[in-house]
Chains A and B, each alone.
Chain A
Amino acid sequence: MYSRYARRYARLVTMPTSAPAALADVTASDSTLRRFLHGLPGVDAVGLEARAASLGTRSIKTTAKAYAIDLAISMVDLTTLEGADTPGKVRALGAKAVHPDPTDASTPSTAAVCVYPDMVAAAKAAVAGSGVKVASVATAFPAGRAALAVKLADVADAVAAGADEIDMVIDRGAFLAGDYMKVYDEITAVKEACGTSARLKVIFETGELSTYDNIRRASWLGMLAGADFIKTSTGKVAVNATPANTLLMLEAVRDFRAQTGVQVGVKPAGGIRTTKDAIKFLVLVNETVGADWLDNHWFRFGASSLLNDLLMQRQKLATGRYSGPDYVTVD
């Protein structure tokens, strides 16, 4: 009964945001940008959460589950962002990214390893020749509290070391203060520093943006500034990726492509620990933006412990026995 209700009103709840067709003019000045971002329709928080929750109730079993698990493994950005990271740990992580389950060669590789800029070279060497990409956080991650020159130097370092992808954080302070142009200029500057070799992921830290309206504005701001990916969080704050804020960002990339023809990827990060959660996100993707995004070029999971649970579930499906943490690597 409830789900029928939700489906009937789904179109209203996820009504496409309407923005002016000429998006080029939007970023002409501070005031036009502000007018555009504040002109975006407000988010129906109750509807958004209800829709995210109802999509989370799908039952994905047997062959569909096996497909979803392999797809999710191939979308993982295997991440280590600790002060205690060593080259040895990064090498171990790289080996795991290439062969997540050494006992089963049919397991797909993960999409990328995600490390700090000074570990890019070590990571690059660890995954050489495997097709696994190296992503690097940059721009004074995770706080983003540094001068633009420092941030750009950080990015340049990572790109020079061979990073395929750059995960930047926006200046949340400027965003919350309403200084959208500053955030926009920073993203474009970082995009330029990435050059043609590296794709840019823009982290909004949705847990610090306080409202869904802000998340929608940040999503559009990031996409206008040239992000290749928009990413929820750093994983360093209390509230990370949730189904609701990821759904909101998926709606934003859908509407952005409808208006500009440019496809932008989405990466929920932090707090996704179980296969069940990951599959819920895949359902969100399929139901919101469709199969075009069901590929690790357009959708990623930023996670570290998620991979182990995916591998244990994969082993369970293959053998019929419940697996345990003794049978996956500790990292």
Chain B
Amino acid sequence: MSEKTEKTEQQRLSVFKTYKLYVGGKFPRSESGRVYEVSDSKGNWLANAPQSSRKDARDAVVAARKAFGGWAGATAYNRGQILYRIAEMLEGRREQFVREVAEAEGLSKAKAAAVVDAAIDRWVWYAGWTDKIAQVVGGGNPVAGPFFNLSSPEPTGVVTVLAPQESSFLGLVSVVAPVIATGNTAVVIASEKSPLPALSLGEVLATSDLPGGVVNILSGRAAEIAPPLAAHQDVNAIDLAGADDVLAKELEIAAADNLKRVLRPQPVDYSATPGIERMTAFLETKTVWHPTGSLGASGSAY
């Protein structure tokens, strides 16, 4: 009997995973139908990842724009809950991500586990920030007149994110979480060499109450997908974290055309506490004047 069970187990075919893009809450293949081979740090084949075309990028922007109103309009508290939910879902699939990160970055199992834990903690960290950032970078301004003068941070809009090339998971989370924590929507280009943890993250996001289109994940050649996104008139900002010097310069020139906010690549230690710079980089400050005083006497609040 036990021999028989063993035999069936030996005969079982391995189930390969088809990695797909994450766009608009769905998991499409690349419109172009292309894939490219992804290998681990030693050069062994891991899987085929979709090689996105500029049309996939265009579709992702449409999805991100569609999702923007709802996500920016959601309460900060609600966004925080959803970001925390992402951490919860990641915790449940921790083993999978430890394996994928270990393969992608050539880390030992223990080190990969530490990276995944740090990434999960990062979601929790930004989940806490969603309803606090407005108090840090906004507030009442002192003015010499009968007015309330209030500044509040507003999300910029659709942000293109070139995820870091080396830190394929912790780096990715560290650049995506601050963008969406403040109410932006993101089009993310995953690490070119090791996109698999990013594509798997899409599956986590899809089951975390995150509305479809808030995060869209593309894999492929950054040099091919990023220029149309940098020139896209409906993209409001671009984070160049994963671009090399030549590409970053090219993208910054293209992004200047409609005055995108640009976050230049800079050396970052992704294991350190991040600070709020990545959030404020994609916030705009709205200042409003409210008349006070005599109107209050007539019974109106303002």
Contacts and interface: CB of A to CB of B under 8 A. Distances in A.
B231 A324 contact: no
Contacts of A323: 233-234
Nearest to B257: A321
Contacts of B274: none
Interface of B: 58, 61, 65, 228, 231-235, 257
Contacts of A327: 233
Looking at A315, A323, A324, the one whose CB has the most chain B CB atoms below 10 A away is A324
A83 interface: no
A129 interface: no
Contacts of A326: 233-234
Contacts of B231: 320-322
B224 to A, nearest CB: 15
Interface residues of A, number: 9
A325 interface: yes
Contacts, number: 27
Nearest to B54: A322
6 contacts: A320-B231, A321-B257, A322-B61, A324-B234, A326-B233, A326-B234
Given A315-B233, A325-B234, 11 more contacts: A321-B231, A321-B232, A321-B233, A322-B58, A322-B61, A322-B232, A322-B233, A324-B235, A325-B65, A326-B233, A327-B233
Interface string A303-331: 00000000000010000111111110000
* Chain B binding surface SS class: helix
Interface string A96-130: 00000000000000000000000000000000000
Nearest to B158: A324
Looking at B58, B65, B233, the one whose CB has the most chain A CB atoms below 10 A away is B233
A163 to B, nearest CB: 37
Contacts of B58: 322
A322 B233 CA distance: 6
B228 A322 contact: yes
Give the top 7 A-B pairs by smallest Cβ distance, nearest first.
Answer: A324-B234, A321-B231, A324-B233, A322-B232, A323-B233, A322-B58, A327-B233
A303 to B, nearest CB: 19
B265 to A, nearest CB: 23
B159 to A, nearest CB: 14
Contacts of B234: 322-326
Contacts of B232: 321-322, 324
A323 B61 CA distance: 11
Contacts of A320: 231
A324 to B, nearest CB: 3
A320 B230 CA distance: 12
A322 B257 CA distance: 12
A326 B233 CA distance: 8
Contacts of A321: 228, 231-233, 257
A323 to B, nearest CB: 5
A95 B169 CA distance: 51
Contacts of B61: 322, 324
B112 to A, nearest CB: 38
A320 B233 CA distance: 11
A327 B65 CA distance: 14
A178 to B, nearest CB: 45
A321 B254 CA distance: 9
B85 to A, nearest CB: 31
A276 to B, nearest CB: 11
A325 B58 CA distance: 13
A327 B58 CA distance: 16
B107 to A, nearest CB: 38
B10 to A, nearest CB: 41
A323 B258 CA distance: 10
A18 B238 CA distance: 62
Nearest to A325: B234
B242 to A, nearest CB: 21
Contacts of B235: 324
A246 to B, nearest CB: 26
Looking at A322, A325, A326, A327, the one whose CB has the most chain B CB atoms below 10 A away is A322
Nearest to A324: B234
A79 B228 CA distance: 33
A324 B232 CA distance: 8
A315 B258 CA distance: 14
A202 to B, nearest CB: 36
Looking at A321, A323, A325, A326, the one whose CB has the most chain B CB atoms below 10 A away is A321
A168 to B, nearest CB: 37
A73 B15 CA distance: 51
A254 to B, nearest CB: 35
A325 B235 CA distance: 11
A322 B58 CA distance: 8
Contacts of B257: 321
Nearest to A320: B231
Contacts of A315: 233
Nearest to A322: B232
A325 B69 CA distance: 14
A323 B65 CA distance: 13
B269 to A, nearest CB: 35
A146 B238 CA distance: 57
B284 to A, nearest CB: 15
Looking at B61, B232, B234, the one whose CB has the most chain A CB atoms below 10 A away is B234
A325 B234 CA distance: 7
A173 B228 CA distance: 52
A275 to B, nearest CB: 12
B63 to A, nearest CB: 13
Nearest to B58: A322
A27 B235 CA distance: 60
A327 B234 CA distance: 9
